[in-house]
Amino acid sequence: MMFVLKKNLEEALSLIFIKMNKDLSRVVEIPEGVTVTLEGNKITVKGNEKELSKTMNLYKINFKIDGGLVTISAKGATRRESKMIGTIHAHLKNMIKGVFEDFIYTLEICNVHFPMNVKVNGNKVIIKSFLGETTERTSKILDNVKVDINGSKIIVSSLNIEAAGQTAANLEKATKLTGRDRRIFQDGIFITNKCGRAI
């Protein structure tokens, strides 16, 4: 009985292994006026007088540029390679989109108890009088990211979606509260819109 169960288990595992190992590929179309190059593990996208570069561990992934198409593939791909192909595909599409239009995050400054003073100073955002605090809170602005403050709204924009997203997250984190009831203490800076998608 144990031998039969063991044999059935081995057959099931072998079937799963076969299903996981198959040739996978995804294709990204390169728009007119855009060039994509690969040097080692560094992918560079140029277009519209803008340039974006990203270093990625391609591992066993094949990255082929042919004419106006980029093919990302792997032979006998496991689940790991399948996820990596999806990640590289998404990054490349965002990079191509980024050379044409900025990724925009919108945040709202919420004052319930005390009015906050929020201003940009170099590569930082300075937050004063948060909940009546006498010490300043700061939030880092990443490279190639623009931050505009208009009343209670903060607009974060960049051709690099990751830099824009991280800068917006830094702003939200700067006014994070611990040990207080958020139902009462609702002051803070909150992301309300991610690249055209309301939250």
| Average pLDDT estimate for 80-100 | 94
**How far is 142 from 146, CA to CA, in rounded Å?**
9
Please say which residue of 32, 64, 98 terminates a domain. Answer: 98
Does 81 share its domain with 166? no
pLDDT confidence tier of residue 2, bands split at 50, 70 and 90:
very low
Ramachandran bin of 49, using left for φ above 0, alpha for ψ from -120 to 50, beta for the remaining angles: left
| Average pLDDT estimate for 102-120 | 91
Does 82 share its domain with 6? yes
Q: Write out pLDDT tens, residues 118-161.
A: 999 999 999 999 888 889 999 999 999 999 999 999 999 999 99
Q: Report the 10 Å Cβ neighbour count for 199.
A: 9
Does 13 share its domain with 66? yes
pLDDT confidence tier of residue 182, bands split at 50, 70 and 90:
low
- List the domain range (segments joined by +) for residue 73: 2-98
Q: Write out pLDDT tens, residues 8-65.
A: 555 554 444 445 578 899 999 999 999 999 999 999 999 999 999 999 988 889 999 9
Does 125 share its domain with 92? no
| Counts for the chain of helices (H) and strands (E), in that order | 3, 14
* Residue 12 dihedral angles phi and psi, to the nearest 5°: -65, -45
Give residue 3's pLDDT. 44
pTM of the model: 0.81
Does 110 share its domain with 66? no
What is the count of structural domains for the chain? 2
Token representation of residue 45: 């996208």
Instruction: Give the length of the chain.
Output: 199
Does 86 share its domain with 129? no
**How far is 172 from 166, CA to CA, in rounded Å?**
10
* Residue 61 dihedral angles phi and psi, to the nearest 5°: -85, 135
Does 87 share its domain with 139? no
Q: Does residue 6 carry a pLDDT above 80? A: no
Please say which residue of 71, 98, 125 terminates a domain. Answer: 98
CATH code (residue 89)? 3.90.930.12
Please say which residue of 72, 98, 124 terminates a domain. Answer: 98
